[in-house]
C-alpha cells in the first residue's frame, strides 16, 4: 500500500456527496439487489405476503449527552424514524452496543433508560441485542447499532417514482436544532434554552398523516446533510427539479444567529425530529392540519414545490427573487452528529 492510495475521510460519513460516492462505487456493486437499489431509508420486503420494512443504523454521536437527548435516545428514534420514512409502523428493534473499557456504568444506565423510554413512546419493543467491550482507546465511550422491522401501512407507496412536478414540499418544523445543540455541547458554547435537539420518534405523527392521506408521494427525514442534501437525493432519484422559497424556511432566529457566527448554512445541518412530505397540492392543507395538531410539528409549512426543471437539482428562490442552486453537502460540516 502506498501513501497516495485513497483513504476514508470524515466527509465519507457526512451523508453528502462523498457518502453517496462511497455507497455507489463500493457498496452497491458488491451487494446490488432490487431492494437495496431503491436507496431508501430502509428496505421494503415481501415476506410470505406481508409487506415489511427493515432498516439498520449506527450511532457514534459526540458528545454522548447533549441538550435534548443522548446517544441512546438517538439510536431508538433514528431507527423508528427510518422505518416511518418507508411508510411503515415500527414493531421490533435490536440493539447492539460497543463499549469502551472504563465507561461509567452510571452513564450506560442513563443511556439504556433513555432507550427504554423512547421505545415505550414509539410503541416498539427491543427484542434482541449484543454487547461487546473493547480496550480503552479503541472507541469513544460507546457506539450503538439499532436495527428495526415494521409493517408497511396499507395503501401507502412511498418512493421516488411518485414524485412529480406540481407537488408541494412540506417540512414539519424548525431546521438545524439538533446539529446546533450537539455542536454547542461539543464546544462548550452557551446558547439560549430554546435550542435543544429535536430528537423524537416520528412514527405516530407520520402514521396519522398517511392514514388520512395515503397519497403522500415521498417521506424523508433530513438527518445527515440536512434538508438541502435530502432534497437533492430525491430530485436525482425522481429526475425532477425543486424550488424552495427562502422566505418560508423555518429556522429559529437563535439557530440562524449561530450559523451566521460560525459560517454554517442551516439548510445543511442535521435534524433528528423532522420530516419532509411531498404531496399533491390538493392534499397539502389536509396534511398541514394534521401535522399542526401534533406538538412535534406545530411549525409545519409548505416550503416549496416540485418542478420539471432544473431536473435533478434543487434551487432556492431568495427573498430578492433570484435563484441559487443548492448542491449536496460536499464535505463535512459537523462530523459525528448522529
- What confidence category does residue 189 fall into, taking pLDDT thresholds of 50, 70 and 90? confident
Distances (CA, A) of 295 to 66, 115, 131, 298, 299: 21, 21, 35, 5, 9
Ordered structural domains, the chain, with CATH: 42-152 (3.30.1330.10), 160-326 (3.90.650.10)
pLDDT at 4 over 80: no
C-alpha cell at 75: 439510536
pLDDT (mean) for 188-202: 87
C-alpha cell at 232: 437533492
CA dihedral 141, 7, 267, 64 (to 10 degrees): 0
Say which range, 47-61, 133-147, 178-192, 243-257, has the weakest mean pLDDT.
Answer: 178-192
Q: What is the pLDDT of residue 2?
A: 67
CA distance 211 to 154: 9
pLDDT > 90 in the chain, percent: 84
pLDDT > 70 in the chain, percent: 99
How deeply is 1 buried, as exposed, middle or buried, from its count of CB atoms within 10 A (0-12, 13-18, 19+)?
Answer: exposed
pLDDT (mean) for 285-309: 97
Q: Identify the CA nearest to 335 among candidates 66, 12, 58.
A: 12
> Helix %, strand %, coil % for the chain, to 5?
35, 25, 40
Q: What is the pLDDT of residue 5?
A: 86
Average pLDDT of every residue of the chain: 94
CA distance 294 to 292: 5
Task: Output the 3-class SS for 72-87.
Answer: HHHHHHHHHHHHHHCC
pLDDT at 64 over 90: yes
Q: What is the pLDDT of residue 335?
A: 86
Longest dimension (CA), the chain: 59
- What confidence category does residue 191 fall into, taking pLDDT thresholds of 50, 70 and 90? confident
CA 77 from chain centre, in angstroms, equals 10
pLDDT at 114 over 70: yes
Q: Between 310 and 106, where is the model more confident?
A: 106
Q: What is the pLDDT of residue 284?
A: 98
Task: List, in sequence order, the alpha helices (H) in the chain.
Answer: 17-22, 28-31, 34-37, 71-85, 105-122, 177-187, 203-212, 226-238, 253-262, 281-292
pLDDT at 204 over 70: yes
- What confidence category does residue 245 fall into, taking pLDDT thresholds of 50, 70 and 90? very high
Q: What is the pLDDT of residue 47?
A: 95
pLDDT (mean) for 209-218: 97
Q: Are 297 and 173 in contact (CB under 8 A)?
A: yes
pLDDT at 268 over 90: yes
Angle at 286 between CA 283 and CA 289, to 5 degrees: 150
CA distance 57 to 205: 21
pLDDT (mean) for 142-159: 96
pLDDT (mean) for 129-152: 97
CA atoms within 13 A on the CB side of 92: 6
Q: What is the pLDDT of residue 195?
A: 86
pLDDT (mean) for 72-100: 97
- What confidence category does residue 297 fall into, taking pLDDT thresholds of 50, 70 and 90? very high
Say which range, 9-18, 105-114, 184-193, has the weakest mean pLDDT.
Answer: 184-193
Q: What is the pLDDT of residue 1?
A: 57
Q: What is the pLDDT of residue 78?
A: 97
Q: Identify the CA nearest to 77 among candidates 138, 45, 36, 123.
A: 123
Distances (CA, A) of 90 to 56, 102, 103: 12, 34, 30
- Expressed in angstroms, the distance from the first to the final Cα of the chain is 32
Q: What is the pLDDT of residue 333?
A: 74
Tell me the whole-structure pTM to 2 decimals. 0.95
Helix (H) or strand (E) holding 132: strand 125-134
C-alpha cell at 223: 438527518
User: Positive or negative, the Cα torsion across 262, 264, 265, 268?
Assistant: negative
Amino acid at each position: 500500500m502506498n501513501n497516495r492510495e485513497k483513504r476514508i475521510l470524515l466527509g465519507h460519513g457526512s451523508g453528502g456527496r462523498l457518502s453517496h460516492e462511497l455507497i455507489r462505487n463500493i457498496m452497491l456493486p458488491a451487494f446490488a439487489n432490487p431492494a437495496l437499489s431503491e436507496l431508501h431509508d430502509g428496505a421494503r420486503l415481501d415476506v410470505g405476503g406481508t409487506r415489511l420494512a427493515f432498516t439498520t443504523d449506527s450511532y457514534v454521536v459526540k458528545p454522548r449527552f447533549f441538550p435534548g437527548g443522548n446517544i441512546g435516545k438517538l439510536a431508538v428514534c433514528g431507527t423508528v424514524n427510518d422505518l416511518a420514512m418507508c411508510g411503515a409502523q415500527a414493531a421490533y428493534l435490536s440493539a447492539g452496543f460497543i463499549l469502551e473499557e472504563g465507561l461509567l456504568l452510571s452513564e450506560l444506565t442513563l443511556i439504556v433508560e433513555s432507550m427504554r423510554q423512547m421505545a415505550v413512546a414509539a410503541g416498539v419493543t427491543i427484542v434482541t441485542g449484543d454487547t461487546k467491550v473493547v480496550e480503552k482507546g479503541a472507541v469513544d465511550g460507546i457506539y450503538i447499532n439499532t436495527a428495526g422491522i415494521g409493517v408497511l401501512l396499507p395503501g401507502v407507496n412511498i418512493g421516488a417514482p411518485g414524485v412529480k412536478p406540481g407537488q408541494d414540499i412540506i417540512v414539519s418544523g424548525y431546521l438545524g436544532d439538533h446539529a446546533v445543540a450537539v455542536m454547542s455541547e461539543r464546544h462548550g458554547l452557551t446558547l439560549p434554552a430554546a435550542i435543544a435537539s429535536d430528537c423524537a420518534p416520528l412514527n405516530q405523527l407520520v402514521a396519522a398523516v398517511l392514514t388520512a392521506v395515503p397519497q403522500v408521494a415521498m417521506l424523508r427525514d433530513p438527518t445527515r446533510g440536512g434538508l438541502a442534501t435530502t432534497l437533492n437525493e430525491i430530485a436525482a432519484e425522481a429526475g425532477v427539479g425543486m424550488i424552495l422559497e427562502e422566505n418560508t424556511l423555518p429556522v429559529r432566529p437563535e439557530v440562524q444567529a449561530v450559523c451566521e457566527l460560525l459560517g454554517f448554512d442551516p439548510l445543511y445541518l442535521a435534524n433528528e425530529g423532522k420530516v419532509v412530505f411531498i404531496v399533491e397540492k390538493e392534499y397539502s392543507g389536509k396534511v398541514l392540519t394534521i401535522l399542526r395538531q401534533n406538538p412535534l410539528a406545530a411549525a409545519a409549512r409548505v416550503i416549496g414545490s416540485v418542478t420539471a426543471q432544473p431536473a435533478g437539482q434543487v434551487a432556492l428562490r431568495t427573498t430578492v427573487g433570484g435563484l441559487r442552486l443548492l448542491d449536496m453537502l460536499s464535505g463535512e460540516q459537523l462530523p459525528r452528529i448522529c
